[in-house]
Structure formats: C-alpha cells, structure tokens
Amino acid sequence: TQLLEQSPQFLSIQEGENLTVYCNSSSVFSSLQWYRQEPGEGPVLLVTVVTGGEVKKLKRLTFQFGDARKDSSLHITAAQPGDTGLYLCAGSPPGSNYKLTFGKGTLLTVNP
C-alpha cells in the first residue's frame, strides 16, 4: 500500500507570512496532485505535477515534484486569509492512474 505523509498536520500563521507544506512517500508516483478542501465541500484541484523535478506556479503558490517522484512541496508566498483551508496531496501509482492515494492533509489557518 502506498502512503502519503503530509506535514505539518496543522499550521497557523499571520497574513503576509510565507509557508511551505510537504508531501512525502517511500513510493514512486506517476503524478501528484494538490487539492484544497473547504469545510463541507469537496476537494478542488490546484495543480498536477508529472515530471520529476517539475516546478509549477499558480499566482502565489509554487508546487514542486521531487526528482525521484516520491515527494512534493507547496510553497505559499505572502499568505492571505483566503488561503485558509485543508491542503491535500494525492498521488497516482504507476499503472493505476485513476486510483488516487490521498494524504491526510495540512490544515492551514491564515490570521488577518
């Protein structure tokens, strides 16, 4: 069974600060996705990374896929209260691209 460990589990910061959250595994994934989930709602896809070493930017969010395709990070610059939410990473194992394995998430709170 492939597992994704996310850290930290909880993160509370002030508006304007920078932060990085991590998603690690001992297994290789063919791709990794980052989602954000609000209370009472479903996960919303932020980005997909496919190539080892790949870096993608989405406004103030920077996503990186590790060279060995076993880990990923999400960096947020100048966090805003609207960034508050549960950040989930999900990986697709080789050969079963549809079967997403999710981490438990990092719950981010950005205080004004």
Partner 1 sequence: NAGVMQNPRHLVRRRGQEARLRCSPMKGHSHVYWYRQLPEEGLKFMVYLQKENIIDESGMPKERFSAEFPKEGPSILRIQQVVRGDSAAYFCASSPQSSGWKDNQPQHFGDGTRLSIL
Contacting positions for partner 1 (CB under 8 A): 4, 30-31, 33, 35, 40-45, 48, 50, 88, 90, 92, 96-105
What angle is formed at CA 10 by the lines to CA 22 and CA 86, rounded to 5 degrees? 75
User: In this complex, which beta carbon is closest to partner 1, that of residue 54 or of residue 83?
Assistant: 54
User: C-beta of 83: minimal distance to partner 1 in Å?
Assistant: 19
User: In this complex, which beta carbon is closest to partner 1, that of residue 75 or of residue 104?
Assistant: 104
User: C-beta of 9: minimal distance to partner 1 in Å?
Assistant: 10
Find residue 59's DSSP bridge partners.
Answer: none
| Exposure letters 9-21 (e unless 16+ CB within 10 A, then b) | eebebeeeeebeb
User: In this complex, which beta carbon is closest to partner 1, that of residue 15 or of residue 41?
Assistant: 41
